[in-house]
A and B are shown apart, each in its own frame.
Chain A
Amino acid sequence: MHPDMKPLFLPDVEHNPKPSTQAEVIRLMQNSDSEYPQILHLFAYKPEATQHLTRFTREVMRGHSPLTDGFRELIAAYTSARNDCAF
């Protein structure tokens, strides 16, 4: 594990990724001791819920809208900053 990373509160979640793109990325990052965002563990744990979240995110961020993609990402980044969520 990359020295800057700490284990998740939930080891079962961290160590039981289901077959998914995210699980593949986690494996590659771990094999090269790279730092990676641990939201990947959450995504890989419940692919069933993740696919709905992904579809929702794609629609709300990239779907048809009078707001530009850039402005929508700024809303997401601004809200995340207010929530003190660095990722």
Chain B
Amino acid sequence: MPHIKLPEGLPGISGLMVCRPETSQPLNELAQALLRANNTLSTSDRELVAAYVSSLNECHYCRSIHGAIAAHHLQGDEKLVSHVTRDYSSSAISAKLKALLYVAGKVWRGGKHVTADDVQEARKHGATDQDIHDTVLIAAAFCMFNRYVDGLATWQPQNPEFYRSRGALVAEQGYLNLKREPISLVD
């Protein structure tokens, strides 16, 4: 049960977004700019960074929804997504993405944990300064989103089908002008 009164039937961040439109508008614009706008990193790589950081924060809603969005961008490869969030180092992703996820994990522990060597290692595998910059910003932003969602104890469905269908919708439409309608789900 949420710590404060939130609209019913809106899970995770969606109830918070409806309850506070003034702050949710720029947050959605930020998500769109970070995860969707043209970038040297693919949308699935960026969603994987978001899902990975959310899994480190044990934020079920964010990990599941961004994992589902990543899977949709990866032709439905949910196995790969769960492998990445569980143990990316043994998963079938590029060495560059592994090095960027390592940096994201450091940001999760605290910004000062990122070292010049970590950055150098990512560069060695082909990451540009922009790739590294965006990875750090996405990781930092998701530490905020995760704490926002869990700090108010929002309702987070356990049914994977919810995330699958919602993830497909977000993957196709992006983060702006998303319809947020109450749902009823038996977990």
User: Contact between B37 and A13 (Cβ–Cβ < 8 Å)?
Assistant: no
Q: A9-B114, A9-B116, A83-B110 are in contact. Are A53 and B132 (CB under 8 A)?
A: no
The 8 Å CB contact of B30, one of A9, A53, A84, is A53
Complexed CA–CA distance, A10 and B129 (Å): 6
User: Contact between B33 and A49 (Cβ–Cβ < 8 Å)?
Assistant: yes
Chain A nearest CB: distance from B103 CB in Å? Answer: 10
Task: Categorize the interface residue count of chain B.
Answer: 20 to 34
User: Contact between A12 and B128 (Cβ–Cβ < 8 Å)?
Assistant: yes
**Which of A24-32, A55-63, A68-76 forms part of the interface with chain B?**
A55-63
The answer to whether the Cβ of A4 comes within 8 Å of any Cβ in the partner chain is: no
Residues of A within 8 A of B128 (CB): 12
**Which of B19-27, B48-56, B152-160, B161-169 forms part of the interface with chain A?**
B19-27
Chain B nearest CB: distance from A31 CB in Å? Answer: 24
| 0/1 string, B122-145, CB within 8 A of A gives 1 | 000000111011000100000000
Residues of A within 8 A of B111 (CB): 83, 85
The answer to whether the Cβ of B6 comes within 8 Å of any Cβ in the partner chain is: no
Residues of A within 8 A of B27 (CB): 52, 56
| 0/1 string, B95-130, CB within 8 A of A gives 1 | 000000000000000111010100100000000111
User: Contact between B110 and A63 (Cβ–Cβ < 8 Å)?
Assistant: no
Number of interface residues of A (CB under 8 A): 21
The answer to whether the Cβ of B41 comes within 8 Å of any Cβ in the partner chain is: no
Hey, which bits of chain B sit against chain A, CB under 8 A? 22-23, 25-27, 29-30, 33-34, 37, 110-112, 114, 116, 119, 128-130, 132-133, 137
Residues of A within 8 A of B114 (CB): 9
Q: A11-B129, A85-B111 are in contact. Are A59 and B33 (CB under 8 A)?
A: no
Complexed CA–CA distance, A10 and B111 (Å): 15
User: Contact between B110 and A48 (Cβ–Cβ < 8 Å)?
Assistant: no
The 8 Å CB contact of B23, one of A45, A49, A56, is A56
User: Contact between B22 and A59 (Cβ–Cβ < 8 Å)?
Assistant: yes
User: Contact between A45 and B133 (Cβ–Cβ < 8 Å)?
Assistant: yes
Given contacts A53-B26, A55-B25, 6 further A-B contacts (CB under 8 A): A46-B133, A53-B30, A55-B26, A56-B23, A60-B23, A63-B22
